[in-house]
Amino acid sequence: MNERYDGLLMVMIGVVAILLLSWRLNRWLMSPASSQLPGVPINESIQDHPAIELMEQEGFEVIGGKVKINLTFDTDELPLYSRLFIDYVVTDGRGDLYLVKLSRERKHLDWTGSGIRDRLMPFMLMYPECAGMLYIDMNENVIRRVTMDWSDEEWIGNDE
């Protein structure tokens, strides 16, 4: 009689194990794609620049140097290639990560909502685990912290 209970117990353990495995597999397959993207790229090679001293004075620690992000866009005719550049990756005193873009003479950033959206938002969407971006204007020796939040306001029609 004990052998019958042993067999029944083994079948129940097997069923529970199969249910747990199938639940975990389903949860893994249904996890959002953003958790499967690579994390923030960190380039160990950090080239010296006056911006590093400015960031350190403001309490940031530089943990990564310039990174090139290659992009490919598939179109009907042919693939198109482009790239984005991150100048530095830094962390603040609380451990939050920030991507850094340095100002460029040839690529002036318009400090408007659309200007920031067009130039900086792709980085914030690619790496949502970052707390934001730092835009460093070396002409004015100023660091501007840019973060993004979704607005609940709905826009319908023309803005007047």
pLDDT (tens digit, 9 = 90+) per residue, 114-143? 888 888 888 888 888 888 999 999 888 899
Is 51 within 8 Å of 138 (Cβ atoms)?
yes
Q: How far apart are CA 83 and CA 135, in angstroms?
A: 19
> Mean pLDDT across the stretch 23-39?
68
In the chain, where do the E strands start and end?
Answer: 61-64, 67-74, 79-86, 88-91, 97-102, 132-137, 142-146
pLDDT score of 60: 92
Weakest-pLDDT range from 4-8, 59-63, 80-84: 4-8
pTM metric for this prediction: 0.67
